[in-house]
Amino acid sequence: NILKVAMINNESIMVALDNDKIVYVELPSVSKLKSLVLHHSLEEAFSLVDTEPMLQGTHEHMLLEERYNKDFKEATQALIHSDEALAHRIIDNYENVPSKMQEIQNLFIAFKNFKRFNELYIEEKYTLAYAMCEKFEPLKNTVQYTQMEHKFRMTFINAQKQIILSNPLKAKELLFE
């Protein structure tokens, strides 16, 4: 059993046990993670977080995730504008990070289908466009998806109004047009 725990410095603690033993425990280095992030060694930073679970949730880890999310959004925008080379350059720092590999692969796979998704959107075949978004999650980050969602919300609100006004046929008509 543990009698007392004392912090020696930011990277180690001393634990006094009830059997009169003292154990020194090295903590994962937050300063090392911070340094890796500052020096753009993002692959190494994610590797450190994966091997040292105690770093998860730290301020530095959150900054690392924010940086990834920002780059992921930039890569998405590049793909929306059909610039695959730029998207690869932006996301290149993360392509060998095991926890991000699948998400990155899904991004590029999704945008191979963007042209078809956009055609469905222009033709107002929203049901099929929604189905594509369910299959290819990154398509939900597009302006087209946001506009479809807005249109659906407005239609749904109007249908609710029609029901309140005792006009269920008009509500049905709005929802199925």
Report field, pTM of the whole predicted structure over 0.85: no
Q: Please give the average per-residue pLDDT across 110-116, as a whole number.
A: 96
Within 8 A by CB and 6+ apart from 69, the residues are: none
- Per residue in 29-48, pLDDT tens? 888 899 999 998 999 999 99
pLDDT of 156 higher than 80: yes
